[in-house]
A and B are shown apart, each in its own frame.
Chain A
Amino acid sequence: MFVLKVNGDVRSVDVPGDMPLLWVLRDVVGLTGTKFGCGIAQCGACTVHLDGQAVRSCVLPVSAIGEKAITTIEAVGKTPSGRKIQQAWLDVDVVQCGYCQSGQIMSAAALLARNANPSDRDIDAAMSGNICRCATYVRIRAAIKQAATGKAEVLQTIAPA
């Protein structure tokens, strides 16, 4: 039995200790916003926060979490950086299929929380673990900058909000 702090709630889960957090969240707790993409920490679709740090939940055994606070896509909007990132994602209209975007947003929110004004290089470094097969990367970059500066990024076709 493990006692987890998930999005501010306390959840007791009766699962094996080697079970990755991803599957605890999806199949036991019932939070399906966090996605399965690869199972080997290669794609970032499963990214969640542990005490604000972005981690790949598909390879994180539940026994390793301890007291740390888990934040998922469902609740990241309650943090200042998460809220800004989600709003910028909407303003810039980043998503396509959307399957990877939970992970993208979690990685971006963690970046913004520790670096209020990330450079292109910072963005590349923080986001290169998140694959998007629709390749929404151009807009992801624009959205992170917009979230950081509050200034509308000039896309070719989208007028500022």
Chain B
Amino acid sequence: MKSPVDIGRRNALKFGGLAVAFVWTAGSGTVRAAVNARRQPGDVAAASADGNPAFAPNAFIRIDADGVVRLVMPNVEMGQGIYTGASMMLAEELDVGLDQIKIEHAPPNEALYGMPLLGGQITGGSTSTRGSWQVLREAGAVARTLLVTAAAERWRVEPSRLSVVRGVVTEPSSGHSLGYGALAKAAGALPMPTQVVLKQPKDFTLIGKPLRRVDSADKVIGATQFGIDVKVPGMKIATVMACPTLGGRLSGINDKRTRAIPGVIEVIALDHAVAVVGEHFWAAKQGLDALDIAWDLGDNAELSTAGLRAALGEAAASGKAIVAREVGKKPVDGKLVQATYQLPMLAHATMEPLNTTVWVTPDRCEIWVGTQVPTRCVTEAAKITGLSEDKVVLHNQYLGGGFGRRLETDSVEQAVRFATKVNYPLKVIWTREEDIRHDIVRPMYHDSISALLDGDGRPVWYGDRVCGGTVLGRWAPEAMGKNGLDDDLVECVAEVPYEIPNLKVEWVRHDMPEGVLVGWWRGVGPTHNLFVVESFMDELAHTAGKDPLDYRRALLQKNPRSLALLNLAAEKIGWGAAPLPPRVGRGIALGEPFGSRVCLIVEAEVTPQGEVRLRRAVAALDCGIAINPSSVEAQVQGGVLFGLSAALWSGITIKHGAIEQSNFHDYRSLRIDETPQVEVHRVDSEDTPGGLGEVGTAIAAPALANAIFAATGVRLRSLPVDRSLLAEGAGALREVIT
């Protein structure tokens, strides 16, 4: 049984996280491409560069006469598994196996590869699967329809009599059969169908199966080309230093010692940074280390974390707020509970340090980079070089992690600026130190949350006054709400899964001083707000004298999908089944981020010295249709651990206007010996897919903080975890600080 779909009809999608910010241009570029484009990218030269495929019915599918099926990936692969998921969506409707396809990175092209949910060719906000679910299946169905029609015309039979298995079309009664390669040319000459038929979930042969990733084979033999691995003939390698004081400028350099180092080619200066070019990275690095640099530290020379925190706290107390959501009125009676939560700035620390390879000639700028925003890179490179955008050619690469860092173009812009000053291809590699010290960090937050409890301890009202800077205000100011609201700031607190009749959620905008840039970080708004909301839910349960599980259950009676997850996670971890050892505790967190629903229970032990050991984590997840359950499990496991890693250790601090951390020794990351077992239990559903890449991260920190409270009685209202509060006998200190 199949259901017909009118081309162009779009399902209304529920947004979450980053996506909310982009609803303003819920574009239809890919939809148009899926049905109209006959040969993509469109002109003769481009088709030639594309190998002149016999059949290119839309932006995503090329079938050559030899039967090779090439799939063009609209999103970028940074570990989240979208190349596998997107291939499964296309191949499901195209009726080919994943072993029959070849994957290609999409070129920058908004019209062809713009994401409907983000209004641009952007990979982020856990939107790729949600945004592509309809588009890619339709693209596959259009291609299949054309290929089947070509076979039907050749054999003069009704298309409905034909079946397709693994790219071979068969007419059962006559035994005729032809592969897609043999049909490609004829299919390419047919008019577009006006309607296609999509499979019902029960007929899926790929979607829903735990298939292995399409990019693993190369990754386990070191053959995958990341941006940093690009080789261009004649290429030289540079490494850079920008003024460590954020916003500072270069005032002078003495490169005498640098020039004496074998392999150093030249020293190039920009206003804010200097690069040393070498025959290889080592020469460039030695050269940079030998350089005498004088900096003009600028206005941020005295900036410190304490100062930034104080200013943020002041704004939180007295700044003008924008009301994001208000329901009902604050009742007069009830027991008032109040708390203030603070979150630190965070670096991304992708495993692959930032890098870009650029070759600028008088009439062309060619870029090789792994980026989440290829078209934004092209636009910026065109501005810098003065070339028109069609003279900027960008080759996207596999990304060695993104986490939001590669939504920024700063490192690409810098590399283009350096490259305009040389006449050879230039690969610019940031050291890890540069990567941390010039990260575009997750903002710091200061939130005051409160609730009124009735006689039974149930909240009858909650209020949250969120204070922090906006990323969107810099990144896409045109996408800010009319009232000046950035939805990201209140995501997952403006709406909560629980039944609470009255609420008021507001935001006080407080931007950092000029030069201190803040950016998207995995889990965006939900990572910030779920820590506050779910920690506070535990505080309310404690105040009401209720078990945190029972307390949440009572508030979820009208939300059966989330209630089911809460119960599933509790059952799987054995909540309340047996007493736990001393200083071991379990913490619950529940949320509905990115169009999915998740409940996480973390079990942690706190040593007498205050060290935290993760013992176990159990997640229950409802993400609608799971395209690839193996990928779902991997994303939730990795996402949870990424969030726990940050909660345990991560915080960027500033001294004299410079980021103090520099590498993995002082910006710690979770290691395997600190990793607990992470179980992921799914509740199956036939709902459209929810987002996944950030769900685990967003729910991790509150579950940990609640586990620590259960283990020690210490409520952590700021991150990262402060061990000094958790040591046995730290009670006196605790009284003062908490």
A window 120-134: CB within 8 A of B: 123-125, 127-134
Does any Cβ of A come within 8 Å of B445's Cβ? no
Query: What string of 1s and 0s marks CB contacts (under 8 Å) between B632-672 and chain A?
Result: 11100111111001000000000000000001110001111
User: Could you say which residues of chain B place their CB within 8 Å of the CB of A94?
Assistant: 216, 220
In the bound assembly, the distance between CA atoms of A38 and B681 in angstroms comes to 35
Does any Cβ of B come within 8 Å of A27's Cβ? yes
Does any Cβ of B come within 8 Å of A45's Cβ? yes
User: Could you say which residues of chain B place their CB within 8 Å of the CB of A10?
Assistant: none
Tell me whether B220 and A95 are in contact (CB under 8 A).
yes
Tell me whether B351 and A132 are in contact (CB under 8 A).
yes
Interface residue total, chain A, C-beta cutoff 8 A: 64
Tell me whether B216 and A20 are in contact (CB under 8 A).
no
Does any Cβ of A come within 8 Å of B295's Cβ? no
Does any Cβ of A come within 8 Å of B400's Cβ? yes
Does any Cβ of B come within 8 Å of A138's Cβ? yes
Closest-CB distance, B92 to chain A (whole angstroms): 18
Tell me whether A93 and B282 are in contact (CB under 8 A).
no
Q: With A139-B634, A156-B680 in contact, do A93 and B216 touch (Cβ < 8 Å)?
A: yes
Closest-CB distance, B109 to chain A (whole angstroms): 24
Does any Cβ of A come within 8 Å of B630's Cβ? yes
Give the interface SS of chain A, mostly helix, strand, loop or mixed.
Answer: loop
Does any Cβ of B come within 8 Å of A16's Cβ? yes
Tell me whether B400 and A135 are in contact (CB under 8 A).
no
Query: What string of 1s and 0s marks CB contacts (under 8 Å) between A24-45 and chain B?
Result: 0011101111111111101101
Residue of B nearest to A103 (CB): B351
Does any Cβ of A come within 8 Å of B202's Cβ? no
Q: With A90-B216, A98-B400 in contact, do A16 and B263 touch (Cβ < 8 Å)?
A: yes
Does any Cβ of A come within 8 Å of B106's Cβ? no
Does any Cβ of A come within 8 Å of B539's Cβ? no
Does any Cβ of B come within 8 Å of A74's Cβ? yes
User: Could you say which residues of chain B place their CB within 8 Å of the CB of A96?
Assistant: 79-81, 634, 638
Tell me whether B669 and A133 are in contact (CB under 8 A).
yes
Give the interface SS of chain B, mostly helix, strand, loop or mixed.
Answer: loop
In the bound assembly, the distance between CA atoms of A155 and B630 in angstroms comes to 9
Interface residue total, chain B, C-beta cutoff 8 A: 70
Tell me whether A133 and B642 are in contact (CB under 8 A).
yes
In the bound assembly, the distance between CA atoms of A60 and B693 in angstroms comes to 36
Checking B210, B403, B663 against A133 with a beta-carbon cut-off of 8 angstroms, the contacting residue is B403
Checking A16, A74, A101 against B262 with a beta-carbon cut-off of 8 angstroms, the contacting residue is A16
Does any Cβ of A come within 8 Å of B350's Cβ? yes
Does any Cβ of A come within 8 Å of B353's Cβ? yes
Q: With A27-B280, A97-B401, A124-B672 in contact, do A42 and B79 touch (Cβ < 8 Å)?
A: no
Tell me whether B81 and A137 are in contact (CB under 8 A).
no
B window 438-466: CB within 8 A of A: none
Which are the 9 A-B pairs with shortest beta-carbon distances?
Answer: A33-B222, A99-B400, A97-B79, A98-B219, A96-B79, A73-B222, A135-B641, A27-B280, A124-B673
| 10 residue pairs from A and B, CB less than 8 Å apart | A15-B282, A26-B280, A26-B281, A27-B281, A35-B226, A39-B285, A95-B216, A132-B351, A135-B642, A157-B632
* Chain B contact residues, CB within 8 Å of chain A: 77-81, 210, 212-213, 215-217, 219-226, 228-229, 231, 237, 262-263, 279-282, 285, 349-353, 398-403, 429, 431-432, 629-630, 632-634, 637-642, 645, 663-665, 669-673, 675, 677-681
